[in-house]
Amino acid sequence: MAGLESDGAESNPTMRVDDQQALRASMWAMVPRLLGRHRYVVLGTADDEGRPWATPVFYAADGVHRILWVSAPGSRHSRNIAVRPEVALTVFDSHAPIGGAEALYLEATAAPAASDTRAADLAVLNTRVPDDRQLEEDDFEPAGRLRVYQAVITRHFVLVRGGDGRFDNVTDARFLVTPPVQ
């Protein structure tokens, strides 16, 4: 099945097309579930010379194709985004037992969110923030030192653990998923 990334792993060649579509749909269901369940994403960026940097950031999903977070414009990942907006993101539970992990891998383009959407973006972010830590307009530029950033997701992958009977994979792999056709 196209979309599985690992050491040449492929889906079970005997799987019918209808079963493949059902598998993609069931695996897509992980996307909104994992985005809604977790609070931190590992954000992977690179500077203008390609040096990588990974950092955890608190996030709020705005649907399944957009993630929001708050950062200082001078932070390393923010500076990297300014020169190279292509990012990778990983959502997972760091407390999952070995062999029991679920993960979501995302490819996206990141940038500061538009200032004219700030009120709506803050409302999305504040749904995930405790009452005593609510974000306010004054926290953000030009009055404050923070900026709202967004990642517009272009591709979603889910973790397929090694030995999954639906695939011919010995090691963990990533499976490209897309929303089911309505």
- Convert the pLDDT of each residue in 41-89 to its tens digit: 999 999 999 999 999 999 999 999 999 999 999 999 999 999 999 999 9
Cα–Cα distance measured from residue 91 to residue 110, given in angstroms and rounded to the nearest whole number: 16
What pLDDT score was predicted for residue 2?
47
Residue 178: which region, alpha, beta or left (left: phi > 0; alpha: psi -120 to 50)?
beta
Which of 103, 78, 73, 102 lies closest to 89, judged by CA? 103
β-strands 40-46, 60-61 pairing: unpaired
What pLDDT score was predicted for residue 62?
98
> Which residues are registered as beta bridge partners of 109?
86, 152
Cα–Cα distance measured from residue 159 to residue 107, given in angstroms and rounded to the nearest whole number: 14
Could you give the percent of the chain with pLDDT greater than 70? 91
Helices (H) and strands (E) in the chain, counts: 4, 11
Average pLDDT, the chain: 89
Start-to-end CA span in the chain (Å) = 21
In this structure, of 2-6, 16-20, 99-103, the range with the lowest mean pLDDT score is: 2-6
Give the residue-averaged pLDDT of 5-32: 68
Could you give the percent of the chain with pLDDT greater than 90? 66
What pLDDT score was predicted for residue 176?
87
Cα–Cα distance measured from residue 151 to residue 20, given in angstroms and rounded to the nearest whole number: 29
Amino acid (1-letter code) at residue 44:
G
Neighbours of 63 (CB within 10 A): 10
> Which residues are registered as beta bridge partners of 157?
105, 176
The two three-digit tokens of residue 152, written as one number: 């517009």
